[in-house]
Homo-oligomer: A and B are copies of this chain.
Amino acid sequence: VVSEAFVTLCTSDAYVIGACVLGHSLRRTKTEKMLVCIVTKSLSPENRQQITDVFDQVEEVDELDSGDVANLSLLQRPELGITFTKIQAWKLTQFSKCVFLDADTLVLGNVDELFEKGEFAAAPDVGWPDCFNSGVFVFTPSNTTFSEILALSKTTGSFDGGDQGLLNAYYSNWSSSDATRRLSFVYNMTANASYGYAPAYQRFKDDVKILHFIGSHKPWHGMPQPGPGSTAIVQLFEKWWRVHDD
């Protein structure tokens, strides 16, 4: 039996709409994998029910928080300490392989081929591309891995105060590992890339399979302010809203 799952995380009411739209976007791709959402006690009963309606399995876990104010302020995202909860995904040992997706991602087509990649696979972060972006990754659940990452979170901590710095510290040889560990950027196109290198975006945008709406302004907060690249961002936000309204 296949025991593979897409996994997302929702630790707060503010991300429920993101998780649900992501779940819908996956259903539209006719994926054969299970859809799992990790939640914490902090969700309201109504929101918890919404999650249950979309996902095959809802896993309640304890909150983990970095409490690392200094590094989070460097990131200008004080709210992201809670993303340490993401590492609880490694405890889903009922599955042989999983693909983690942030609740602010949107799947545009079937991506079941991601399960052919090995643990640990991720796409580069456009901010510092020797690091991977931790919004999309392929992993193998393992209590040992979970314990090791948890231990590292207590000894070394995270250089950005969130899960991305922690996971990059744990998988620190990612950038020098082979191609099976690297996902193409089309599996984690951070929406700001639409204006970072415009000719490449024009050239490759039709290949994009997963959009990732990084930053504090999410599609469910409304359209972005006019500014550099906002035309392209508006178009990407509209893709999210089309799935939302479907």
Q: Which chain A residues have a beta carbon within 8 Å of chain B's beta carbons?
A: 71, 74-76, 123-131, 159-161, 165, 168, 175-179, 182, 184-186, 193, 196-204
Q: Is A74 in contact with B198, judged by CB distance below 8 angstroms? A: yes
Interface pairs (12), CB distance under 8 Å: A74-B198, A75-B198, A124-B129, A125-B200, A126-B197, A130-B184, A131-B197, A160-B199, A160-B200, A165-B203, A176-B182, A176-B184
Q: Is B127 in contact with A197, judged by CB distance below 8 angstroms? A: yes
Contacts A74-B198, A182-B175, A198-B74 known; A204 to B129 CB distance under 8 Å?
no
**In the bound complex, CA of A230 to CA of B126 (Å):** 19
**In the bound complex, CA of A142 to CA of B215 (Å):** 45
Q: Is B130 in contact with A193, judged by CB distance below 8 angstroms? A: no
Q: Is B130 in contact with A202, judged by CB distance below 8 angstroms? A: no
Number of copies: 2
Q: Is B197 in contact with A125, judged by CB distance below 8 angstroms? A: yes
Q: Is B128 in contact with A129, judged by CB distance below 8 angstroms? A: no
Q: Is B184 in contact with A128, judged by CB distance below 8 angstroms? A: no
Q: Is B179 in contact with A178, judged by CB distance below 8 angstroms? A: yes
Q: Which residues of B contact A76 (CB under 8 A)?
A: 198
- Max count, chain B CB within 10 A of own CB: residue among A76, A123, A185, A199: A199
Q: Is A130 in contact with B204, judged by CB distance below 8 angstroms? A: yes
